């Protein structure tokens, strides 16, 4: 039974997409084939809901591309297709309800609202960048943050946005690096450090690439910057010793991390600039190596025997 529903839903959507031009799906009633006026919300003959928003339930005129319901603006093209599938099947198969599908629709809505009401650009551009961050599209995310800062250079959110921008540029740089475009990758890593000098991971990548280019002085400079951003970083210490660069004693010991209050986490998630705090401890993305694959392992001190009289 479930397979039959899935097959029916897929065939129906495919048939609608191939058999009818896009304008016909909204102008011609799919129940009785009556021609509708652009101002019609339901079919004059059979009362079929021609352009209903499945998110908020608003009945929109045939001419609408986005829902006109209050605070909705959901794109309606997909709704017109999904509306042909019975509600029970839609819910069972979660058609159009995946996280990716919802984020894609929200991006369409943002483009529409930016054109409709430019006064809300600050909120909408910030949300767009956060969506790209959630979708793990570092290139689009970086461009979105740059666009936001260009339009709102004095924003109170600048401190957190520069952190987001730096991380997006670092990840974008890794994409270029993995494709063999080291020149562009280095440019992105340098831009990441410029956006946020406390991004230790970005500095490590600058050091790695300078090392690969046999520019040992520049590599050592970058590793020192990484260590300044994250005292005690073993990768930076290892390569600074390799390049025989003197390391300030204060940078050899990791800085104890300070627990972040729940209120501060919530503020960061919403984009509100957090209260002043010690320099952030950057984290290493699990999919990005922080140490060159051909680098020698860092010796680990041998475990000390327990003191006499202890268990």
Q: Does some domain include residue 195?
A: no
Q: Does some domain include residue 25?
A: yes
Q: Does some domain include residue 30?
A: yes
Average pLDDT over residues 282-289: 39
Average pLDDT over residues 277-304: 39
Give the pLDDT confidence score for residue 2 in this predicted structure: 54
**Please, which residues have CB within 8 angstroms of residue 99's CB and are 6 or more apart in sequence?**
none
What are the two backbone dihedrals, phi and then psi, of residue 58, each rounded to the nearest 5 degrees? -65, 135
Residue 131 has pLDDT above 90, yes or no: yes
Q: By CB neighbour count within 10 A (0-12 exposed, 13-18 middle, 19+ buried), where does 125 fall?
A: buried
Give the pLDDT confidence score for residue 198 in this predicted structure: 97
CB contact at 8 A, 166 and 145: no
CB contact at 8 A, 75 and 104: no
Assign 299 a pLDDT band (cuts: 50, 70, 90).
Answer: very low
Q: Does some domain include residue 51?
A: yes
Q: Which two tokens stand for residue 85?
A: 């599938």
Q: Does some domain include residue 131?
A: no
Task: Say which range, 75-79, 95-99, 298-302, has the weakest mean pLDDT.
Answer: 298-302
What are the two backbone dihedrals, phi and then psi, of residue 75, each rounded to the nearest 5 degrees? -65, 135
Distances (CA, A) of 197 to 74, 120, 209, 249, 267: 39, 31, 17, 21, 22
**Please, which residues have CB within 8 angstroms of residue 25's CB and are 6 or more apart in sequence?**
16, 80, 81
Q: Does some domain include residue 204?
A: no
Query: pLDDT digit string (tens) for 4-19?
Result: 555 454 444 444 444 4
Q: Does some domain include residue 134?
A: no
Query: pLDDT digit string (tens) for 82-123?
Result: 877 888 888 888 888 889 999 999 999 999 999 999 999 999
How many helices, marked H, and strands, marked E, lie in the chain? 13, 0
Q: Which residue has the higher pLDDT, 27 or 265?
A: 27
Assign 1 a pLDDT band (cuts: 50, 70, 90).
Answer: low
CB contact at 8 A, 38 and 62: yes
**Boundaries of domain holding 25:** 2-63+79-95
What are the two backbone dihedrals, phi and then psi, of residue 160, each rounded to the nearest 5 degrees? -80, -35
**Please, which residues have CB within 8 angstroms of residue 212's CB and are 6 or more apart in sequence?**
182, 292
Query: pLDDT digit string (tens) for 173-225?
Result: 999 999 999 999 999 999 999 999 999 999 999 999 999 999 999 999 999 99
Give the pLDDT confidence score for residue 16 in this predicted structure: 43
Q: Does some domain include residue 172?
A: no
CB contact at 8 A, 203 and 226: yes
- The rounded mean pLDDT for the chain is 81
Torsion 24-28-32-33 (CA) sign: negative
Residue 282 has pLDDT above 50, yes or no: no
Number of structural domains, the chain?
Answer: 1
């Amino acid at each position: 039974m479930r397979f039959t529903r899935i097959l029916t839903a897929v065939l129906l959507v495919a048939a609608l997409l191939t058999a009818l031009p896009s304008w016909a799906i909204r102008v011609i009633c799919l129940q009785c084939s009556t021609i509708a006026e652009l101002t019609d919300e339901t079919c004059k003959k059979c009362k079929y809901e021609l352009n209903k928003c499945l998110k908020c339930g608003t009945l929109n005129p045939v001419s609408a591309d986005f829902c006109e319901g209050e605070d909705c603006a959901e794109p309606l093209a997909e709704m017109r297709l999904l509306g042909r599938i019975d509600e029970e099947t839609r819910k069972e198969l979660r058609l159009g309800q995946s996280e990716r599908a919802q984020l894609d629709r929200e991006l369409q809505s943002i483009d529409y609202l930016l054109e409709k009401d430019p006064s809300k650009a600050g909120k909408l551009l910030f949300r767009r960048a956060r969506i790209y961050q959630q979708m793990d599209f570092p290139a689009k995310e970086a461009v979105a943050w740059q666009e936001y800062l260009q339009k709102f250079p004095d924003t109170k959110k600048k401190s957190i946005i520069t952190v987001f921008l730096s991380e997006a540029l670092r990840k974008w740089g890794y994409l270029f690096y993995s494709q063999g475009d080291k020149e562009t990758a280095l440019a992105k890593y340098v831009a990441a450090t410029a956006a946020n000098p406390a991004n230790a991971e970005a500095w490590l990548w600058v050091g790695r690439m300078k090392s690969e280019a046999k520019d040992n002085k520049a590599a050592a400079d970058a590793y020192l910057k990484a260590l300044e951003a994250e005292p005690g970083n073993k990768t930076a210490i290892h390569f600074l010793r390799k390049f025989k660069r003197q390391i300030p004693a204060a940078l050899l010991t990791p800085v104890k991390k300070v627990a972040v209050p729940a209120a501060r986490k919530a503020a960061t998630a919403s984009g509100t600039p957090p209260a002043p705090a010690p320099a952030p401890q950057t984290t290493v993305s699990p999919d990005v190596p922080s140490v060159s694959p051909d680098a020698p392992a860092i010796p680990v001190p041998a475990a000390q025997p327990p003191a006499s009289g202890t268990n």
